[in-house]
């Protein structure tokens, strides 16, 4: 394996079947295990790849590493459900408030807020009965535009998002199994389990970007809400369905790969077109799901702090998808699996609200550690404007439970101190596999991204409350 170090945290690896770009500082780069390179080489067996890279949070996934950006030409390229991921449309959302950290420093206030949020956002049950008047099919067809007006607090909730509606050919919905709607029924506005969360944080604005932060409506000590969730059962069932469809198609075409979990098909094939169109239906579900979670959080804040709290959306974006984008004057399909798009100022893909500045790129940490609001740089073109999507797991859930004690987790959350990060679970044992020790050092991940000139930090988000589903 040949390696060329370009400097600025950018390594170029010459693997057996193509080139892999790795964006990481030396400490993170040295921590990568051989398996991540084996998976990259398997991915590079897919013909006519134009770009393959890892961001510093990269770690082993099913078929493809989380933290992958992979690009093919739209005319003769390939689409891979494995390089999209099962939780299609999983992503981040941040809402601002008029509150300062000191307004919620009191633990009693924060516990009251947790109780109110759980009232509007179910965390311990499968279905959300609060939004029975929402037609799921309208949502999967039209995204935010498929929601009743009563759930749109202001126009900003429609404009300050990566996409309010992902357009596709609705006739493909006729090919879906009937039961998919049954599984997804009642899941709008629900978190789900795993690493999904609602977190209440306060901001520390980076000195370098005080002016940009002010333009975005951010200030030091400001309380914000960060949400991480995806397309729930709608996307999960699509992922399961197309795992079977693509595997059968590859067998019929005589296509083999050392990793049977790596599935792909030509974009122009029936399978490719069907997957792409239905994937966009899952993206519509995902953005609407985060929107409705945020709507519930807004109701909770207004219940606790009064109706003056509007919770305007800062931004909503995704990190599991395959998007049609123009690069080098060519239409391309850009897969991002656990990778966040970070567009610089002036880029044509920016939503109108952020055309002049570039949009906020939202990067979560782990429970008990900082998260970050970043902005893309022009130099990000070298990685198709992709950056990390979080800290990235350092060990499996099972290994975490075996190696980390509840006391160590409690110490990370500063339990018993005035700075304690409150959580909605009575027992930390139930969420031990999401402790900071399960993840890479997010500060090293961010240092890697900044050092590679892919993006800059605008604000650091310090956790005060963590809400997890089951």
List active site positions.
389
Q: How far apart (Å, rounded) are the C-alpha atoms in residues 226 and 362? A: 9
270-305 helix and 232-253 helix, angle to the nearest 10 degrees:
170
Q: Is 195 annotated as a binding residue?
A: yes
Q: CA 444, 447, 450: angle at the middle one, nearest 5?
A: 155
Q: Is 371 annotated as a binding residue?
A: yes
| CA Rg value for the chain | 21
Residue 224 φ/ψ region, left for φ over 0, alpha for ψ in the -120 to 50 degree band, beta for the rest: beta
- The per-residue b/e assignment along 137-169, b for 16 or more CB within 10 angstroms, e otherwise, is eebbbbbbebbeeebebeeebbebbbbbbbebe
First vs last C-alpha separation in the chain: 42
Q: Is 254 annotated as a binding residue?
A: no
Q: How far apart (Å, rounded) are the C-alpha atoms in residues 447 and 456? A: 9
Nearest to 309 by CA among 154, 414, 172: 154
At a CB cut-off of 8 Å and minimum separation 6, what does 312 contact?
Answer: 95, 96, 154, 156, 157, 160, 217
Q: Is 364 annotated as a binding residue?
A: yes
Query: Tokens 């997957």 sit at which residue?
Result: 275
DSSP state letters, 294-315:
HHHHHHHHHHHH-TT----EEE
SS3 state of residue 233: helix
Q: Is 198 annotated as a binding residue?
A: yes
Are 361 and 341 a contacting pair, CB within 8 Å?
yes
Q: How far apart (Å, rounded) are the C-alpha atoms in residues 403 and 395? A: 10
Q: Is 320 annotated as a binding residue?
A: yes
Q: Is 468 annotated as a binding residue?
A: yes
Q: Is 21 annotated as a binding residue?
A: no
Q: Is 390 annotated as a binding residue?
A: yes
- Indicate the annotated binding residues for GMP: 195-199, 319-320, 364-367, 371, 389-392, 468
Q: Which residues are annotated as a binding site?
A: 87, 195-199, 228, 319-320, 364-367, 371, 389-392, 468
Residues in binding site for Mn(2+): 87, 196, 228, 319
């Amino acid at each position: 394996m040949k390696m060329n170090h370009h400097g600025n945290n950018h390594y170029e690896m010459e693997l057996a079947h193509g080139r892999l770009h790795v964006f990481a500082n030396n400490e993170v780069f040295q921590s990568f295990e051989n398996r991540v390179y084996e998976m990259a080489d398997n991915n590079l067996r897919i013909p006519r790849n134009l770009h393959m890279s890892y961001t510093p949070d990269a770690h082993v996934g099913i078929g493809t590493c989380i933290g992958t950006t992979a690009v093919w030409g739209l005319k003769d390229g390939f689409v891979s459900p494995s390089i999209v991921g099962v939780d299609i449309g999983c992503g981040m959302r941040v809402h601002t408030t008029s509150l300062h950290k000191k307004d919620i420093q009191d633990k009693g206030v924060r516990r009251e807020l947790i109780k109110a949020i759980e009232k509007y956002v179910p965390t311990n049950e499968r279905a959300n009965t609060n939004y029975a008047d929402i037609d799921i099919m309208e949502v999967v067809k039209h995204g935010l535009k498929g929601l009743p007006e009563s759930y749109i607090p202001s126009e900003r909730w429609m404009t300050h998002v990566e996409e309010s509606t992902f357009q596709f050919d609705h006739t493909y919905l006729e090919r879906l199994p009937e039961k998919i709607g049954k599984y997804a029924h009642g899941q709008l506005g629900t978190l789900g389990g795993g690493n999904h969360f609602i977190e209440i944080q306060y901001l520390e604005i980076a000195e370098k970007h005080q002016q940009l932060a002010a333009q975005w409506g951010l200030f030091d000590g400001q309380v914000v809400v960060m949400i991480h969730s995806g397309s729930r059962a709608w996307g999960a069932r699509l992922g399961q369905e197309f795992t079977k469809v693509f595997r059968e198609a590859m067998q019929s075409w005589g296509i083999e790969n050392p990793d049977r979990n790596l599935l792909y098909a030509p974009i122009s094939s029936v399978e490719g077109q069907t997957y792409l169109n239905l994937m966009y239906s899952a993206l519509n579900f995902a953005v609407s799901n985060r929107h409705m979670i945020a709507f519930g959080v807004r109701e909770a804040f207004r219940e606790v702090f009064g109706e003056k709290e509007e919770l305007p959306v800062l931004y909503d974006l995704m990190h599991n998808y395959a998007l049609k984008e123009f690069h080098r004057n060519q239409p391309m399909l850009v897969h991002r699996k656990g990778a966040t798009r970070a567009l610089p100022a002036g880029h044509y893909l920016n939503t109108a609200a952020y055309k002049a500045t570039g949009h906020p790129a939202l990067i979560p940490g782990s429970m008990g550690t900082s998260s970050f609001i970043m902005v893309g740089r022009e130099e990000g073109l070298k990685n198709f404007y992709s950056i990390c999507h979080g800290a990235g797991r350092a060990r499996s859930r099972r290994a975490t439970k075996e190696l980390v004690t509840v006391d160590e987790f409690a110490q990370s959350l500063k339990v018993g101190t005035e700075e304690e990060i409150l959580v909605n679970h009575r027992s930390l044992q139930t969420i031990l596999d999401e402790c900071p020790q399960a993840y890479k050092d997010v500060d090293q991940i961010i240092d890697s991204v900044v050092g590679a000139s892919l993006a800059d930090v605008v604000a650091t988000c310090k956790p005060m409350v963590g809400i997890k589903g089951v």
